[in-house]
Amino acid sequence: MSSEQSNPTAGERTDTETRETAEEAGFTLPSLSVNRRGFMKAGAAAGALGSLAGCTSMLSSDGNGDDGTVEAAGADHTIPPRELDEYYGFLSGGHSGNIRVYGIPSMREIMQIPVFNRESARGYGFDDETREMLEDAGGYTWGDTHHPRLSQTDNDYDGRFAYVNDKANGRMARINLKYFETDAIVDIPNQQGTHGACARLPDTDLIFGVGEFRVPVPNDGRDLEDPDAYGSVIAAINPESMNVEWEVLVDGNMDNGDGGKEGRWFFATGYNSEGATNEEGMTRDDRDMVKAFDLPAIEEAVEAGEYEMINDVPVVDGRKDSPLNEGDDPIVYYIPTPKSPHGVSVTPDNKYAIASGKLDPTASVIEIDMIDEVDDPADAIVGRPQLGLGPLHTAYDGRGHAYTTLFIDSQVVKWDIEAAVEAEPGSESPVIEKIDVHYNPGHLIAAESYTADPAGDWLISLNKLSKDRFLPVGPMHPENDQLIYIGDDEEGMQLMKDSPAYAEPHDASICHRSKIEPASTYDPEDLELEPTAKGDESIERDGDRVTVEMYSERNQFGFEEIIVNEGDTVEMKVTNIETTSDILHSVAIPEYDINVKVAPQETRKVTFEADKPGVYWFYCGFFCSALHLEMRSRLIVRAAE
């Protein structure tokens, strides 16, 4: 696809053409009736009409600069030297198992936070503490980060923690934003393929892991050939202890999720309502479901003992035929949507949950307060605007607009939420404008979109393909995170910058820098290990166990040599006694696969078996002074007699 081959504008592509194009590609686009509300406040109506009178054209995707960027009116993504970005962007790292930290709007990568994979620069997975954390969380050698979400207090980011799921291995991790380090991981029982990662708001008192794959529960060898007995679960995780508090078993596979902003509801999209095990079976019917979990009702069921204890976790039956779903107050509402909805997100005002169609060109606008009031859950769907081909994920600007990625059209579409509620089902009239992105966008995120008060200025489209946008690097191409300015409704969306990404990123969160206060050095009170001060270094032997406590500072370690015997267990604890920020040291012993980073005032410990006699230099792996190369000591391992 070249930049000249742009997609038609919203005004050029008709409803019929959209449907015909999709059907040629093998997609079916069913229509569902929508219960339209009988009234709307006059102010909201005026706002919707005003927004529709604005820009409805699609801007050029090429920009006006040699590097494919543009200068938007009133906006500039360039950050001069010595100046700081306005926002932190926390972007998933996909198969790298990490989180990428960007400055926004510069799109400069500031840091990588290892989460599920070992990483040598930070010594993650090499010292005793992080190695044990990874082993206790399943001992997997890799992970796949998808959906980073930040902790909130009163529906605003509080700068304490970030949480992210491991789609591959069914885990959830917590990142301490004081130190930008992973400090806890839980291997979620009864769940395979943890896809969504979301918080219960307003105060992040639960973290939800959305299980995608249907398996027998418990998966202990029973019901192997009986897919009807399979199920998927959401897991409610205590954000402080990182223990799984309870789970809910549901019909079908689940996909993405998002929580309401007042603590009652959690939403998850679902597919494979057929309960099949192959593509043909999973796509047989023309309907799937958004699942709306009534959290207080679920917690009441847990409190009343209405659950089965499976792998030490209370599992509540939320399937359609469960006794807990009988009557007028079910614990899980199954809201029918077109086939295989994908992303779901709650609007900043907590009024709607919007689910994207993926295989249908529409989005389903669910009015949250109607869910438990209507006789038929389908009647809670109050809008279904036609957006384009392959709608996947939606973000918000706080001005009543939604932004949805169109995977097949390779576009981001901006549309008016209240106009969608007032329009006829399948209408394109709520669409304000579209912009080409390069190419096939999956997730997108607007600044502080997950809070109750989005910033409304910057948006990132995380595109799956880049093709001709960067220098060629062989058959495996980078992906493309594109920065779009959305702060001027009259000028419209403006593409600002391309930024290559290593495979395969998914979601992101953007937080204003004023809400995060990272430490420049470690506070010893926050660490489990007692620091070793200069003058307190020691080497002690207890049988065949040798305990070393030492410090490191510029140019030297606490000992010039450490002598042990072949077969000894060596426990080495080291404290970086520097008080100046940015002066890192490490203890690297390559022959023993050791590389432990210690930042200023940090203490780390590594334990290993001295099973190879010889002389092994250990050295500092960070260039810390003019005498950096001289900062080394000997590990002498005497051969056993």
Q: Specify if 7 maps to a domain.
A: no
Q: Specify if 8 maps to a domain.
A: no
Q: Among 493, 515, 537, which residue terminates a domain?
A: 515
Q: Specify if 6 maps to a domain.
A: no
**pLDDT for 275:** 87
Residue type, 441: P
Average confidence (pLDDT) over 346-362: 96
**Are 492 and 547 within one domain?**
no
**pLDDT for 628:** 82
**pLDDT for 71:** 52
**pLDDT for 283:** 87
User: Taking the model in full, what pTM does it have?
Assistant: 0.89
Q: Specify if 5 maps to a domain.
A: no
**Are 326 and 412 within one domain?**
yes
Average confidence (pLDDT) over 177-195: 96
For residue range 364-380, what is the model confidence (pLDDT) as tens digits?
999 999 999 999 999 99
**pLDDT for 50:** 35
Written as six digits, the tokens of 479 are 């992906």
Task: Give the CA distances from residue 548 to residues 130, 311, 542, in Å, rounded to whole numbers and listed in that order.
Answer: 19, 40, 11
| Range in 66-75, 385-394, 566-575 the model is least confident about | 66-75
Q: Specify if 1 maps to a domain.
A: no
State the pLDDT confidence band at 346, using cuts at 50, 70 and 90: very high
Residues 6+ apart with CB under 8 A from 505: 91, 92, 93, 94, 100, 462, 479, 481
Average confidence (pLDDT) over 482-489: 97
Among 126, 134, 101, 99, CA closest to 114 = 99
Contact 351, 367 (CB under 8 A): yes
More confident call, 464 vs 627? 464
Written as six digits, the tokens of 115 are 């989460």
**Are 60 and 102 within one domain?**
yes
**Are 314 and 439 within one domain?**
yes
**pLDDT for 624:** 87
Average confidence (pLDDT) over 308-319: 97
**Residue 42: is its pLDDT beyond 80?**
no
**Are 305 and 371 within one domain?**
yes
SS3 category, 438: coil
State the pLDDT confidence band at 72, using cuts at 50, 70 and 90: low
End-to-end Cα, the chain, rounded Å: 70
CB environment 234-255: b (16+ within 10 A), e (fewer): bbbbebeebebebbbbbbbbbb
**Are 308 and 383 within one domain?**
yes
* Own/partner long-range contacts of 366-372 (Cβ < 8 Å, ≥24 apart): 366/267, 366/290, 366/292, 366/335, 367/37, 367/421, 368/260, 368/265, 371/265, 371/292, 371/333, 371/335, 372/294, 372/329, 372/333
**pLDDT for 18:** 41
More confident call, 493 vs 32? 493
**pLDDT for 216:** 92
Looking at the chain, the whole-number percentage of residues with pLDDT higher than 70 is 88
For residue range 414-461, what is the model confidence (pLDDT) as tens digits?
999 999 999 999 999 999 999 999 999 999 999 999 999 999 999 999
State the pLDDT confidence band at 19, using cuts at 50, 70 and 90: very low
**pLDDT for 591:** 94
**Residue 339: is its pLDDT beyond 60?**
yes
State the pLDDT confidence band at 65, using cuts at 50, 70 and 90: very low
Q: Among 515, 542, 564, which residue terminates a domain?
A: 515
CB environment 157-179: b (16+ within 10 A), e (fewer): bbbbbbbbbbbbbbbbbbbbbbb
The domain tally of the chain equals 2
For residue range 79-102, what is the model confidence (pLDDT) as tens digits?
999 999 999 999 999 999 999 999
Q: Specify if 10 maps to a domain.
A: no
For residue range 97-120, what is the model confidence (pLDDT) as tens digits?
999 999 999 999 999 999 999 999
For residue range 569-592, what is the model confidence (pLDDT) as tens digits?
999 999 999 999 999 999 999 999
**pLDDT for 573:** 97
DSSP 424: P
State the pLDDT confidence band at 25, using cuts at 50, 70 and 90: very low
Range of the domain at 584: 524-638
State the pLDDT confidence band at 282, using cuts at 50, 70 and 90: confident
For residue range 399-419, what is the model confidence (pLDDT) as tens digits?
999 999 999 999 999 999 999
**Are 511 and 548 within one domain?**
no
Residues 6+ apart with CB under 8 A from 281: 272, 274
State the pLDDT confidence band at 74, using cuts at 50, 70 and 90: low
Average confidence (pLDDT) over 270-287: 88
Contact 54, 400 (CB under 8 A): no
**Are 538 and 508 within one domain?**
no
CB environment 121-155: b (16+ within 10 A), e (fewer): ebbbbbbbbbbebbeebbebeebbbbbbbbbbeeb
Average confidence (pLDDT) over 554-574: 95
**Are 487 and 549 within one domain?**
no
**Are 479 and 623 within one domain?**
no
For residue range 509-552, what is the model confidence (pLDDT) as tens digits?
999 999 999 999 999 999 999 999 999 999 999 999 999 999 99
Q: Specify if 2 maps to a domain.
A: no
Q: Specify if 4 maps to a domain.
A: no
Q: Among 489, 515, 541, which residue terminates a domain?
A: 515
State the pLDDT confidence band at 274, using cuts at 50, 70 and 90: confident
Question: What CATH number has the domain bearing residue 412?
Answer: 2.130.10.10
Chain mean pLDDT for the chain? 89
**Residue 123: is its pLDDT beyond 50?**
yes
DSSP 362: B
**Residue 53: is its pLDDT beyond 60?**
no
Question: What CATH number has the domain bearing residue 589?
Answer: 2.60.40.420
How far is it, in rounded angstroms, from Cα 283 to Cα 273?
9
Among 246, 236, 229, 244, CA closest to 196 = 236
**Residue 67: is its pLDDT beyond 70?**
no
SS3 category, 323: helix
**Are 615 and 469 within one domain?**
no
**Residue 603: is its pLDDT beyond 50?**
yes
**pLDDT for 503:** 86
**Are 495 and 548 within one domain?**
no
